[in-house]
Amino acid sequence: MKTRITELFGTKYPIMLSGMSGISVPKMVAAVSNAGGLGILGTGTMTAVEAKKAIRETKELTDKPFGINVSLLFPGAAENAKIGLEEKVHVINFSLGKGDWIVEAAHKYGGKVIATVVNRRHAKRAQDYGCDGLVVTGHEAAAHGGDATSLVLIPTIVDEVDIPLIAAGGFADGRGLMAALALGAEGIAMGTRLMTTKESPLHENYKQLSIEKGVNDTIYGIYFDGLECRSMKTKVSEKAYERGFLGLPNFPAAIINARGLAKMLDFPYYKLLIGIILSGWKNAKQMAYMANAFPAIQAAIEDGEAERKGVLPVGQSTGLIHDVPTVAELLEKIVAEAEEVQKRLSDAVT
């Protein structure tokens, strides 16, 4: 199966692993790349030292192309991007910020850069400063999708840019892959589907819940991590998504949780706290939401906690998950199904 995405990245299949912090770890990234897709390492919760170690570990596990993801809104993300550039990773996928400097540096060694976007304005801006491709994220996606669904968002952006698109949000099987190609995308990115595989580090409790939940079993809102975010619907997440006093985050809890965030990022706590305060009200409020959300996500991924505090971002495609295959089995099944769909449609049109 060849598209502009497979040609751009040198992969066998036009399928990309979303760069999920805590999930897209070296073993998982390598499994996707070795199976013919493009693995993306999630560096959002890593220090620069940890990011370098993870990149080098991934290189030991695969000789196939892979990339890293950096969410430029997060503390330390720019440093992780610089580590990726120093290590000359094949692909850097950035989001939530301006990555023109990443494009310039990556192109010097032949690296590729893809921006994750949710609207036309950001798509055109990313193309203007030289991105090689886009991940276009629809409303169905886990965590931070756009306001528009993939069905209408993808062709809207296809009509606006010339660079290839990777469709994200709602894709979990061969039918979805063919639908994305029909809409004008050149491949798909999957997070929710790939986190329920044997190689995924996601706790078994949540792998089982991902199978049990349907397309309507997600919750979407702004009061969990401060951005429009979609997670698995549970009693815990419903409470976590409730609007706080005057729509504000729980600042006392955030001050406490920021200590854990600072430790994780290997950053002096008082400097992090002062920096957030001096960054302005809007950013301070956003960081407070995220400081409170991170322990909940970590509890779900690592401990499988679903009764008291665990919250797991998942997309609506959780309703399409019925098993826990290996990554290689899943990718082969998706491509085989896509080819069957292509034949059926060809026969129908003929």
Distance CA 267, CA 261 (A): 8
Q: How many CB atoms lie within 10 A of CB 4?
A: 16
Distance CA 259, CA 166 (A): 37
Residue 27 has a pLDDT of 98
pLDDT tens sequence for the chain (350 residues): 899 999 999 999 999 999 999 999 999 999 999 999 999 999 988 999 999 999 999 999 999 999 999 999 877 899 999 999 999 999 999 998 889 999 999 999 999 999 999 999 999 999 999 999 999 999 999 999 989 999 999 999 999 999 999 999 999 999 999 999 999 999 999 999 999 999 999 999 999 999 999 999 999 999 999 989 999 999 999 999 999 888 888 888 887 887 777 776 676 776 767 776 767 778 788 888 888 899 999 999 999 999 999 999 999 999 999 999 999 999 999 999 999 999 999 888 87
Distance CA 93, CA 31 (A): 18
CATH T-level topology, domain 4-203+323-349 = TIM Barrel (3.20.20)
- CATH 3.20.20.70 residue window(s) in the chain: 4-203+323-349
Measured distance between the N- and C-terminal CA atoms of the chain, rounded to whole angstroms: 22
What 119-122 contacts at long range (C-beta under 8 Å, 24+ apart), as own/partner pairs, is: 119/146, 119/147, 119/148, 119/153, 120/156, 120/157, 120/160
Distance CA 147, CA 324 (A): 30
Please provide the DSSP assignment of 219-256 as one string. Answer: EEESTTTSS-EEEE--HHHHHHTS--GGG---HHHHHH
**What phi, psi does 242 have (nearest 5°)?**
-70, 145
Distance CA 237, CA 219 (A): 8
Q: Residue for token digits 């706590």?
A: 269
Contact between 188 and 167 (Cβ < 8 Å): yes
